[in-house]
Structure 1
Amino acid sequence: MLYAKLLKNGVALKGLSLNQICFQLAKRDIWLDRAVLSKMKNGKLPPAKDHINIALAEILGIDSNELRLAAARETIDPKLYELIRCAG
């Protein structure tokens, strides 16, 4: 599943506003602007760094491995991703 779709579904299922999510991230010393989160959720920005994705998954109650893999799939070279996937 695409990264943005996972984020969008997680936000909808959890029922939190983007401000609330950013507040929860700030409690974990992760400072992310609501506008940036919105753009990631709508596929207008690339996925976040790994530590942010782990925190987002915890906050939204979604599978962190699935979110992290979706982020990796969209941010690294497809040939490298396939090599890593096949090696695992």
Structure 2
Amino acid sequence: MNTYTEKLQQYIRDSKLSLSQICKLLQSKGLKTEKSYLSKLQNGKLAPASDMMNKALAEVLSVDPVELMAAAYREKIPAEVLERIRGSA
């Protein structure tokens, strides 16, 4: 199972877009973001992005938004809640 950071890094690498290009595309969608924010996200220095940002990133990177959001949720959900969810599945 890939972490949010690993997925995001792979998606960015596969897109062949620079962080500056991604940032401009996100800004054209009305999201205020900076290259430094994207860098911190892909390097795991920040918690996973919001659903809105993940959906926009997925659109810009031409990937499934659910994959990115699911990876984000796995890291945001407290361990005991995640364990309970897994136990009831």
TM-score normalized by the length of structure 1:
0.88
**Mapping 1:12-31, distance limit 5 Å:** 12-31=13-32
Q: Can you list the C-alpha shifts for 1:12-64, whole angstroms capped at 9, x where unaligned?
A: 11110101101111111111111111011011111111110011011111221
Q: From the superposition, tell whether residues 85 and 29 of structure 1 become closer, same or farther in structure 2 (CA, over 3 Å).
A: farther
Letter in structure 2 aligned against 1:32 = T
Structure-2 residue corresponding to 1:8: 9
Query: Which runs of 5 or more residues in structure 1 are unaligned?
Result: none
Q: CA deviation at 1:86?
A: 6.0
- Determine the C-alpha separation between the residues in 2 that align with 1:85 and 1:68: 17
1:23/1:86 CA distance change after superposition, 3 Å: farther
Match of 1:33 in 2: 34
Higher Cα Rg: structure 1 or 2? 2
In 1, the alpha carbon distance for the partners of 2:66 and 2:87 equals 17
- TM-score when normalising by structure 2: 0.87
Gaps of 5+ in 2: none
